[in-house]
Amino acid sequence: MITEILFEDFSNFIKFEIEQIKRFQCPNGFCIMYVKPEFSKDFKKLKEILKEALRSSDVIASKDEHIFLILTGVDKQGADFVRKAIYDFFEGNVVEYYVDYPQDALTKDELIKKLTDDIYKKFGINLKHYFAK
């Protein structure tokens, strides 16, 4: 079962994950995934499925029907597998996107910027205010 944290701690957890990888020279990075159901009625079901299906080493946080995941030790291929499974299970009625550390960005702020910019460009969903300092 996945580890759930408060959304307010999500950015700090990204920073922690980067520091762990650097300190212990881990060969694998991680992905940050954003997931949102198309219909509000599916939010609780989606969150519960993710909490049960993902690993205990992964992290979930949510805010206003937006779900944010940290998939540890996962590259883009692994994140795409998770993304496709979510998309298929909800018959396409879900918005999902991910960014990869270190492939897409090397710092917490760069990762968040890429995630929020790309989601806005692709889906028109503005998430920047959630990460404002």
Map out the domains of the chain as residue ranges. Answer: 3-130
Cβ–Cβ under 8 Å, residues 111 and 104: yes
In the chain, the percentage of residues whose pLDDT exceeds 90 is 95
Q: Which CATH fold topology does 3-130 show?
A: Alpha-Beta Plaits (3.30.70)
- List pLDDT tens digits, range 9-20: 999 999 999 999
User: From CA 62, how far away is CA 46, in angstroms rounded?
Assistant: 11
Of residues 101, 61, 96, 64, the one with CA closest to residue 80: 96
Output the six-digit token pair for 59.
Answer: 């992290």
Cβ–Cβ under 8 Å, residues 9 and 60: no
User: From CA 31, how far away is CA 80, in angstroms rounded?
Assistant: 10
pLDDT of residue 27: 86
35 pLDDT above the threshold of 80: yes
116 pLDDT above the threshold of 90: yes
Tell me, what DSSP letter sits at residue 27?
A: S
Output the six-digit token pair for 70.
Answer: 């940290």
